[in-house]
Chains A and B, each alone.
Chain A
Amino acid sequence: MSVLRLLILLFLPTILVATTRIDSYTIKFQALKEGGGQAIATVALVGCTPGNLVLPLGFQSPEELRLEESPAGVKLEVGPRNGMTSLHLLFPAGMPTQATLRFSFTVKEVFQVLQLAPGEKSLMPKGSRLFRHAFVNTQEAPIGIYRLEFLFPEGLMAQAIREQQPKPKKSEVLPRVILSKSAGVQTAVLQFSDLRQGDDTSMTLELVPHRRSLGWLLAGLLLGGLYLFKFRDLIAKKDPDPTR
């Protein structure tokens, strides 16, 4: 066997899998107040061929990874690639060319914990949390649509979208991150189309408790009442001109 044949045999699976394209990659992530969360990801593949596919994952240290729906024989494992958390998918022989994979996983801590040095001022009020998600397409095939739906934990809402990258192109009408509501829970959806290798997208959300301080109500009513009392002369009837 010539060296050339050997090389072809060795790289054939890679070449074949390289033709597998990711039509859409969506993750629905339910965050929990305690800090963790549970995700369900759906990946729509076209042009599937037997072999390996390395799927980048925008979450660090996923646990309880489970394949929920896939063609028979597909295997899924977690493993790093280029320093990023990635999922390694192994497609068996006889893999259908079009397939939808669904898998779930949990994450122990999704909120950023800001460590303040002694004497350092806090830039966020007590009770605020930051959620940051970044996704990089580290694999060769382009991803048609990447979409992360972040479901807010109960009792928390978005104070602000602190980061949303990349900026929408001129042809895009919608902002990169859209706040919405799903089944009574506030959600933030990060969406980016046509990710080529190396493209990345990210968002940072600041979450705050749902309830507004009653101090606003008290201060507002007090000020309003005081004004009505102290400035009542504004509408008092003017005395008739004594010279007339």
Chain B
Amino acid sequence: MAAEAESATKTPSLQELLDMEKMTLSSKTREAQSPTERWMRYLGFPGGILLFLIILFLPAGAGLSASAQSGAACFALALVWWVTEPFPTYVTSLVLMFLLLVTRTSNAKAIMDVLGMEVIWLNLLAFILSSMLVKTRLAKRMALWLVVRFGHKATWALLAFLVLQLVLAPLIPATAARCVMTLPLMIVVATIYGSTEATPNAFGKNLMLLNLACISVLSSVTMTGSSANLIAVGLIQNMGGHRVYYMDWMRVGAPVAILTMVLMWILGQKLLFRMKPEEQVPQVEGGLDLVRRQYEAMGPLGFQEKKAIAIFGLVLFLWMTDIFHMRWFGVEISAPFAALLGAVIVLFPRWGILSWAEADIPWHLLIFSAGAYAGGLALDDTGAAEWGVRMLFGGMNLKGVPFGITYTVVISVMMYSHLLTTSKTVRTLIMIPIIITLAKALGWNPLSLALPAALCIDWVVGLPISGKPNVVLFSTNQFTVSDNFKYGMMTCTIGVLILVLSGATWFHWLGITPSFWAVAP
């Protein structure tokens, strides 16, 4: 009897699984599962405090102000707590915000203003749109179609998401928007494969982390993939004296990003999070046939679904056509305002789709993001991030060294530096000018280092706080911070390897890089 009951709880019916209106992005802390995780939680709290005290009481660095030093100490504490999770991540964010104030790293206004940042608004509004997709059952329909079409095996379902993100990347530059519009699909598909918030499995980890990496990494396929890419192009032109055209970027960026994601699609399943045989097929009673029947039972598109498509289409249209807004409307409707317009229609009495109470807005996630951004901004504003980068490059003597070594160092620093900042734009503004200056000082063509380095800008995949999509996907509780770190580090390392190989071959043949053995005169 007990076994039957257990079995019944383990295999919920498809109807139960797809009852998405009952699903919310929970603020519950995930239970520590393994002894290692429990030890991490236990030691993480004092570990974070210890690191904070060490950095705070270190002799003043030559180029660091006291506020930069305390900012680095606060951020290090929060980073340890976010990774080891002695508290829910949003509590750590609140602690961080308080610490930034009492250590005089940032003032109250700067900390509080973070909650009004564009990214926070975009998250909030995008969740309203996401709730609309759930309520109208459009998300369920799309997910069932995806599983019926590609879901015979988990691996093909994962590949379908890779392709989906690759198609969306050039169309919608806002990564958070891309993430939120595909999030309901991810949740339903993960659920069909037995991965829920309460019982996450290897499929769920693979699905969420593959999407997380795809959303960020595939932004580097085109130079319009993110505004930070365009800033880098501007800096290369102004400081390096080289104009980078759309196709120049694409022919170096696309192969690297796509190849890396294809490799991660394979390695994620084969190496990092191996799926058990039962996780590789839909885990619902009746299997794929039932999913197909369920899809067919949904019948043709309902009126509400069509309305949702129209609203979402309008928002999507505004996201995709932002470069024409000024010409058409005399004003640019930025991504959050396009989502705001969509939210207004969705919430409109009688004509809309949702009431405010039906919108699933995960405030804990917004607080988590706010803390992470406050910490990241403090590192930037106090000059701690810039000082760190300068010390790193300044500490290495690259004069007279073969180009290949300099190139590898620059790419590695650029790739992994995303762990220390939460803004791609700020990282670009700090790193690219330094790399251009370094190239000039060493006697290399600035393009040879700056363009490959610029390709790393969007690869913000190491931690849940590294990018907006990461924050959103982390809220699904399908993976831990350490899962994210493992997956992100592997993605970045493969990226570095491919970029180094490309630098020695493909980029060299294109005339971007000199020979790896060349030594500057």
Binary contact readout A179-192 vs B (1 if CB under 8 angstroms, 0 otherwise) = 11100001000000
Residue of A nearest to B58 (CB): A212
Mask, B21-63, CB within 8 Å of A = 1, is: 0000000000010010011011001100110110011001011
User: For residue B63, which residues in chain A have a CB less than 8 angstroms away from its CB?
Assistant: 178-181
User: In the assembly, what is the distance between CA of A225 and CA of B50, in Å?
Assistant: 11
How far does the alpha carbon of A225 sit from the alpha carbon of B49 in the complex, in Å?
10
| Distance from A57 Cβ to chain B, minimum over Cβ atoms (Å) | 27
B234 to chain A minimum Cβ distance, whole angstroms, is 8
Docked-complex contact A235 and B67, CB < 8 angstroms: no
Contact with B along A201-244 (1 / 0, CB 8 A): 00000001010100011001101110110011011000000000
Q: B45 contacts which of A125, A158, A216, A227 (Cβ < 8 Å)?
A: A227
Contact check, B52 vs A220: say whether CB atoms are below 8 A apart: yes
In the bound complex, residues from chain A placing their C-beta under 8 Å from that of B52 are: 220
Q: Please, which residue of chain B has its CB at the minimum distance from the CB of A234?
A: B42
Q: How many residues of B contact A (CB 8 A)?
A: 34
User: Cβ of A161 and Cβ of B62 under 8 Å apart?
Assistant: no
Residues on B with beta carbons closer than 8 Å to the beta carbon of A15? none
A244 CB, min distance to chain B CBs, angstroms: 11
The range of chain A's interface size is 20 to 34
**Residue B508 at the A interface, CB < 8 A?**
no
Nearest CB in chain A: distance from B395 CB, A: 15
User: Could you say which residues of chain A place their CB within 8 Å of the CB of B433?
Assistant: 173
A171 sits at the interface (CB 8 A): yes
- Name the distance in Å between B393's Cβ and chain A's nearest Cβ: 11
Chain A nearest CB: distance from B40 CB in Å?
10
Q: CB-defined interface of B460-499 with A at 8 Å, one 1/0 digit per residue?
A: 0000000000000000000000000000000000000000
A179 & B65 in contact (Cβ 8 Å cutoff): yes
Determine whether B386 belongs to the interface, using a CB cutoff of 8 Å to chain A: yes
Shortest Cβ gap from B233 to chain A (Å)? 13
- Secondary structure at chain A's binding surface: helix, strand, loop or mixed? mixed
Q: A157-B60, A160-B382, A171-B238 are in contact. Are A228 and B42 (CB under 8 A)?
A: yes
User: Knowing A217-B53, A234-B41 touch, does A208 contact B383 (C-beta < 8 A)?
Assistant: no
Let me know if A159 is at the binding interface, CB within 8 A: yes
Say yes or no: B67 contacts A175, CB within 8 Å.
no
Task: Establish whether residues B57 and A159, one from each chain, have CB atoms under 8 Å apart when the complex forms.
Answer: no
Contacts of A217 in B (CB 8 A): 53, 57
In the bound assembly, the distance between CA atoms of A51 and B32 in angstroms comes to 81
CA distance A223 to B47 in the complex (A): 11
Chain A, 43-98, CB within 8 A of any chain B CB:
none
User: What is the CB-to-nearest-CB distance from A240 to chain B, in angstroms, rounded to a whole number?
Assistant: 15
Whether A5 is near chain B, meaning CB under 8 Å from some CB there, is no
Complex Cα gap A225–B42 (Å)? 11
Q: Is the CB of A160 within 8 A of B239?
A: no
Supply 7 further A-B pairs (C-beta < 8 A) apart from A179-B383, A234-B38: A157-B65, A160-B104, A160-B382, A171-B239, A173-B434, A208-B66, A216-B57
CB distance from A176 to the nearest CB of B (A): 11
Chain A CB within 8 A of B86 CB: yes
Q: Once the chains are docked, how many angstroms separate the CA of A229 from the CA of B263? A: 45
Known pairs A180-B62, A235-B42; A220 contacts B383 (CB<8 A): no
Contacting residues, chain B, for A180 (C-beta < 8 A)? 62-63
Nearest CB on B from A46, distance (A):
26
A220 touches B49 (CB 8 A): yes
8 A Cβ contacts from A103-127 to B: 125
Contact: A235 with B38, CB < 8 Å? yes
**Interface code A123-165, partner B: CB below 8 Å = 1, 0 otherwise?**
0010000000000000000000000000000000111110000
In the complex with contacts A170-B238, A234-B32, A160-B42 CB distance below 8 A: no
Q: How far is the CA of A23 from the CA of B259 in the complex (A)?
A: 53
Known: A175-B383, A234-B42. A220 touches B64 (CB 8 A): no
* Cα distance A173–B441 in the bound complex, in angstroms: 12
Contact A216 B56 (CB under 8 A): yes
Query: Are the C-beta atoms of B49 and A160 separated by less than 8 Å?
Result: no
Nearest chain B CB to A239's CB is how many angstroms away?
A: 15
Enumerate chain B residues within 8 angstroms of A212, measured Cβ to Cβ: 56-57
Contact present for A227 and B46 (CB under 8 Å): yes
**Shortest CB distance A172–B (Å):** 8
**Could you tell me if A235 and B39 are in contact, using CB atoms closer than 8 angstroms?**
yes
B368-403 interface (Cβ within 8 A of A):
382-383, 386
B45 contacts across to A, CB distance below 8 A: 224, 227-228, 231
- Out of A160, A178, A224, A235, name the residue touching B46 (CB < 8 Å): A224
- How far apart sit A220 and B53, CA to CA, in the bound complex (Å)? 7
B179 in the interface (beta carbon within 8 A): no
Q: Which of A158, A223, A231, A235 contacts B65 (CB 8 A)?
A: A158
In the complex, the chain A residue whose C-beta lies closest to that of B65 is A158
Within 8 A of A (CB), among B211-243: 235, 238-239
**Could you tell me the distance between the alpha carbons of A224 and B63 in the complex, rounded to whole angstroms?**
30
